[in-house]
Amino acid sequence: MRDRVALRGLRARGHHGVFDFERREGQDFVVDAVLHLDTAPAAASDDVGDTVHYGLLADRLAAIVAGEPVNLIETLADRLAAECLAEPLVERVEVTVHKPSAPIEHEFADVAVTVTRDRRDRSDPGESGARSRREPGDLGDPRDPGGPEDPVGREGPTGPGGRSERRVRT
């Protein structure tokens, strides 16, 4: 599919992440969605009914970001891609979720996950067979929630008086 409709820089507040302060305080997420579809019918008719109404799609995507929290932006990106593919004209979608306030102790420009989903490739995730799964703590990293060296415990960091802090010890 050569034609694309792009929605870039959709900003919405969500409560996603593995740390309790991310769930409690929330943060802004930025979404880019590139929809692959045939725009020729819309170009010929000049009717929004023959294409994706990107304003309504933006509302639905923002509602997903603001909705049920998930641990990983990979999961969030997958949910957003599924919503884009719910549009009957969309054959393929690329969704990028940016987490500009990710809890990283170093200066960084962006953290993002991009997923590509195709209507033809939709299948049951369980079909791919058994895959080894990393359990909490496998990395031995203090930032790994639940890890043996996790100085803040599974619930994440809290500071004096129960106030949330964004830094963890390394």
To the query of whether residue 140 is one of the catalytic residues in this protein, the response is no
**CA distance to 9, 93, 163, per residue, from 100 (Å):** 12, 22, 22
Residues 103 and 44 in one domain: yes
From the candidates 99, 115, 145, 152, give the one annotated as an active-site residue. Answer: 99
Name the residue range of residue 41's domain: 4-119
Min mean pLDDT across 14-23, 79-88, 120-129 is at 120-129
pLDDT at position 146, please? 55
Residues 113 and 156 in one domain: no
Is 129 inside a domain boundary? Answer: no
pLDDT at position 135, please? 52
Per-residue pLDDT averaged across 11-35, rounded?
Answer: 97
**CA 36, CA 121: separation in Å to the nearest integer?**
14
pTM of the model: 0.75
pLDDT at position 140, please? 52
> In the predicted model, is pLDDT for residue 82 greater than 60?
yes
Residues 106 and 141 in one domain: no
> In the predicted model, is pLDDT for residue 77 greater than 90?
yes
**CA 145, CA 39: separation in Å to the nearest integer?**
45
Residues 154 and 107 in one domain: no
Residues 77 and 22 in one domain: yes
Q: How confident is the model at residue 107 (pLDDT cuts 50, 70, 90)?
A: very high
Domain count, the chain: 2
Residues 83 and 159 in one domain: no
Is 81 inside a domain boundary? Answer: yes
Residues 97 and 169 in one domain: no
Name the strand (E) or helix (H) holding 59: helix 54-66
Which DSSP string corresponds to 11-37?
A: EEEE--SSSHHHHHH-EEEEEEEEEE-
**CA distance to 56, 102, 129, 163, per residue, from 8 (Å):** 14, 19, 35, 34
